Amino acid sequence: MTGVRRSFTEGERRREVLQGVDMTLPAGEFVALLGPSGSGKSTLLNLASGIDRPDQGSVRVAGVELHRLSERERTLFRRDRIGFVFQFFNLVPTLTVEENLLLPLSLRGGADSAARRRAQDLLDAVGLPDRGGAWPDRLSGGEQQRIALARALIHEPELVLADEPTGNLDEETGLRILDLLERLLREAGTALLCVTHSRDVALRMDRILTLREGRVVAREAGRAGASAMPPLSSADA
């Protein structure tokens, strides 16, 4: 992202949510976004996914300038090249676990035998090899989040966007989900942009960016025990 600004109208007022954000996310890197509610974290995720467009500035993902695409082109890009992990698991209750996993591929006509083998490989990877025929409401919260992780990866995205991925789980289950998320994405070489309110979660990332009032106000090295880096302007992020 370069020079990204985004504002919204609230009644008769115009509120600028992002004020000239610059951010890079190299392939395979994990970056956490910290900040209070209203700081612009969710808006930034929407821009990174092409759900929204900036008022000013540019958003480039995997070499593609999303802000220049039509709404349909952005939808197809998001479907094919970005994975999502949410706080609420967003599994389709009327589909089995396997059908939920295959949904991103079904939407582009690719749910063939090879896709089913990949779905089973991912079920094995997340430790649920025999749950393909189960309904989501028969799974625990931790199991549902593991399925959500597998679904986010089934189409081999270049970027995964996570919004409070452990926010709906107890601490122990959340730690297991983070371990799994990190292992699967590291193995695949997939970049991760993770919004979180948890400093413990953020410290597991490679870098931490702190947003406040629509600006990147601080940068730190992630990974537990890494030394903090000094505050910087958004232009340096």
Residue 115 included in any domain? no
pLDDT tens-digit profile of 53-63?
Answer: 999 999 999 88
pLDDT tens-digit profile of 116-143?
Answer: 999 999 999 999 999 999 999 999 998 9
Rounded-to-10 torsion of CA 90, 64, 80, 176: -50
Residue 24 included in any domain? yes
Residue 226 included in any domain? yes
Residue 35 included in any domain? yes
Range of the domain at 82: 2-90+157-236
**Phi (first) and psi of residue 235, to 5 degrees:** -65, -20
Domain count, the chain: 1
Q: Is 146:126 a contact under the CB 8 Å cutoff? A: yes
Q: What is the reported pLDDT for 228?
A: 38
Residue 146 included in any domain? no
Return d(Cα 62, Cα 80) in angstroms, integer.
12
Domain CATH for 41: 3.40.50.300
pLDDT tens-digit profile of 7-29?
Answer: 998 888 888 999 999 988 888 99
